[in-house]
A = this chain, B = another copy of it.
Amino acid sequence: MKISIIGIGLIGGSIALKLKQKNVTDFVYGIDNNIENLNEAILLNIINEKADLETGIKNSDLIIIAIPVDSARKILPKVLDLISDKQTVMDVGSTKYGIVNSVKDHPKRDRFVAFHPMWGTENHGPKSAIAESFSGKAGVICNREESAEDALQIVENIVKNLEMHPIYMNAEDHDVHTAYISHISHITSYALANTVLEKEKEEDTIFQLASSGFSSTVRLAKSHPEMWVPIFKQNKENVLDVLNEHITQLRKFKSALEKDNFEYIEELIHNANKIRGILDK
């Protein structure tokens, strides 16, 4: 199988590495506006050749869109315009309602499978790509009933070879759940970094005192705005909803501290501790 990957970054690159390792593909075309990424990806054996959109698509059985969600939404209709009924298109974006909606009336809608692998890091670019990234994680397929059976099977086979377990969801539910479980973590982490940068003017002190706990909580704050601003834009209502709840939760700590109500703080912490039971099942 020949594959075109649009966007040879962390996710696109990691998928290419894994699918080559599993012999799912013998040839990967890399399509990217960033020529440095492409050259690096060739050196790292992530792609076989760089291509323009038309050439890549013409020669591929599967086209994977792995660019920020706003650009993905724009490019998808063009990609569908260019393919035949034998080709399949998938994306890997963190929001799903917008992209699914953008092609709902496209005559080749059924060649597209909306996908979201639940993995990422704060790093970017082909250098950060890791073949084993996805193993054991969830791979969400949205609105499966809008995809052709053979297109769905091709993507399910990709999910299997990425060693992910597939989860099926409609796009609206996906965006609600990811706002809760993924998008809010990024805002929390960005806001925590900005808090510390605002309060702690001695950078050396941050560097010297930063424990593994702080580094862990603030890790996502290294994630790039090119990826995350479009996610917040496309999932605005859900993100706002959970952000309001998060501010409410922080105000509970604040108000309990102000009133020396340490019994209530203990209760809040006991409740938060439940996350251990859920995550460490």
CA distance A270 to B177 in the complex (A): 26
CA distance A120 to B217 in the complex (A): 13
Chain B residues with CB under 8 A of A236:
257, 260
Q: Is A244 an interface residue (CB 8 A)?
A: yes
Q: Contact check, B254 vs A243: say whether CB atoms are below 8 A apart.
A: yes
Q: Is A184 an interface residue (CB 8 A)?
A: yes
Residues of A within 8 A of B (CB): 118-122, 137-138, 140, 165, 167, 177-178, 180-182, 184-200, 203, 205-225, 228-229, 232-233, 236, 239-247, 249-254, 257-258, 260, 262, 265-266, 268-276, 278-279, 281
Q: Contact check, A265 vs B220: say whether CB atoms are below 8 A apart.
A: no
CA distance A245 to B260 in the complex (A): 19
The count of identical subunits is 2
CA distance A268 to B148 in the complex (A): 42
Q: Contact check, A203 vs B253: say whether CB atoms are below 8 A apart.
A: no
CA distance A189 to B258 in the complex (A): 19
A117 CB to closest chain B CB, in angstroms? 9
Q: Contact check, B210 vs A279: say whether CB atoms are below 8 A apart.
A: yes
Partner of A181, one of B182, B200, B225, B251: B200
Chain B residues with CB under 8 A of A273:
193, 221-225
Chain B residues with CB under 8 A of A278:
203, 206-207
CA distance A197 to B219 in the complex (A): 22
CA distance A165 to B208 in the complex (A): 9
Q: Contact check, A269 vs B167: say whether CB atoms are below 8 A apart.
A: no
Q: Contact check, B245 vs A198: say whether CB atoms are below 8 A apart.
A: yes
